[in-house]
């Protein structure tokens, strides 16, 4: 009996060692790509429940700004949805001038955004005035 257990554990370790990693630029979702030792029909419910328990959600990794050819500030917010479920939220970007004063614009409204589970996302925004040098961004739940 003990022999069988050793064989089973050995097979799992061997199988996970043989797992060929996909091209990192291509994201194969669960139930699209092949099952792995860490993600299969047995482990999936546990990992999903654990993710929900620890409250995984949206993480923002980077906010990059650059001035485009037309002279307007462009903002790219790169993030990742760490939860297993699609997260929907709203965001609003306010643009600031050189004195740190908010620029009044009709483009600063709450806009919807959606990020699929365990996936990266990018929010792009363009300042509507050349005077914009900085920004601030707020988020809220999609009701």
Nearest-approach distance from CB 139 to other proteins, in angstroms: 12
CA 114/CA 79 separation, integer angstroms: 12
Q: Do 77 and 123 meet the contact criterion of CB atoms below 8 Å apart?
A: yes
- By CB under 8 A, residue 122 contacts other proteins: no
Applying CB under 8 A, the span of 15-23, 80-88, 99-107, 113-121 interacting with other proteins comes to 99-107
Residue 107 Cβ vs other proteins, minimum distance, rounded to whole Å: 4
Question: Between residue 20 and residue 79, which ones bind other proteins under the rule CB under 8 A?
Answer: 68-72, 74
Strand pairing report for 73-81 and 58-67: antiparallel
d(C-alpha 61, C-alpha 121), whole Å = 10
101-120 positions binding other proteins, by CB under 8 A: 105-112
CA distance 13 to 44: 18
Q: How far is the CB of 123 from other proteins (least distance, A)?
A: 11
- Torsion, Cα 95 99 100 101, to 10 degrees, reads -70
> Residues binding other proteins: what is the number (CB under 8 A)?
21
Q: How far is the CB of 25 from other proteins (least distance, A)?
A: 25
The residues facing 125 across adjacent strands are 75
Binding footprint of other proteins on the chain (CB under 8 A): 68-72, 74, 105-112, 125-126, 128-130, 140, 143
């Amino acid at each position: 009996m003990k022999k069988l257990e050793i064989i089973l554990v050995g097979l799992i370790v061997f199988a996970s060692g043989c797992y060929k990693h996909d091209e990192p630029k291509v994201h194969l979702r669960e139930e699209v790509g092949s099952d792995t030792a860490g993600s299969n029909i047995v482990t999936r419910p546990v990992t999903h429940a654990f993710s929900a328990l620890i409250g995984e959600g949206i993480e923002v990794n980077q906010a990059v700004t650059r001035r485009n050819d037309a002279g307007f500030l462009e903002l790219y917010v790169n993030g990742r949805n760490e939860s297993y479920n699609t997260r929907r939220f709203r965001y609003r970007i306010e643009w600031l001038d050189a004195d740190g004063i908010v620029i009044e614009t009709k483009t600063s409204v709450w806009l919807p955004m959606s990020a699929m589970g365990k996936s990266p996302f990018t929010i792009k925004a363009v300042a509507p005035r050349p005077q914009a040098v900085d920004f601030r961004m707020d988020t809220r739940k999609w009701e």
